[in-house]
Amino acid sequence: MVNRFADLFARKPSGVLNLYITAGYPSLHDTVPLLKTLAESGADVLEIGVPFSDPLADGPVIQQTSSAALRNGMTLKLLLQELQGIRQVLPDTPLLLMGYLNPVLQYGMEAFCQQTAAAGIDGVILPDLPAEEYAALYQETFRRHNLRPVFLITPQTAEARIRRLDELTDDAFLYLVSGPGLTGGNQTADHSSQDAYLARVEALNLRNPRLVGFGIADKTSFERACQHAHGAIIGSALLRALDGAADPHEAARQFVRSIRQ
């Protein structure tokens, strides 16, 4: 079965750039065109945020874009409809949905997995889905539809727990939260503490690649995160660049250039 994550990390073992956008933002039907622009500009992985009224792990920027997307009329059902056929546009780029458990359960886990996979999505991040619950209730459903879960690791996560999450990840990547707080915060202020944490996880020689997220905002923080990981994830900084832009696509291109220069 196709595993775009494995293919990506085999050909690019370092400097992987994962970019996050909120579905339905800035405008309702911007999602697929923006994904195409970002991939063409140099993004390696694309993460699509499903807007939710109570995004527990997200900071003010993603909260605001989620609220705007919901006002625009974006829903999980509409997003999955809009993503149909995206593999004709982006055949090789790994695609993720990032959301929260409540809307997925309302949709129905089986229907969600089936339609998400049919839309061409490779993996799912559900920060409020406990790993134990995933393993007991949903792992077989995910595997049946060739969907890969992505779990979050923090500086407080114990080694045994990290190894268990690595075991459950099914050849995607581990999401290393750079420090305490929410997305978009200044997680990189304490460089020595962050470097020690990332080096500690690197030394575990885990099976899956590692991407660093939360507080990665520019070329400097991206490159610093990549010193002890395979790449990094940027969301809030990109969304800030899109906010109010006369041409969101040009803003997206300029943002990716600022990271890749």
What string of H, E and C letters represents the secondary structure of 81-139? HHHCCHHHHCCCCCEEEECCHHHHHHHCHHHHHHHHHHCCCCEEECCCCCHHHHHHHHH
58 is a catalytic site residue: yes
CA distance 45 to 22: 14
CA 29 vs. chain centroid, Å, equals: 20
Q: What b/e readout covers 13-41, taking b as 16+ CB neighbours within 10 angstroms?
A: eeebbbbbbbbbbbebebbbebbbbbbeb
Catalytic residue among 30, 44, 54, 58: 58
3-state secondary structure of 46: strand
Q: Is 159 left (phi over 0), alpha (psi -120 to 50) or beta?
A: alpha
Annotated catalytic residue, options 30, 44, 47, 122: 47
What are the residue numbers of the active site?
Answer: 47, 58
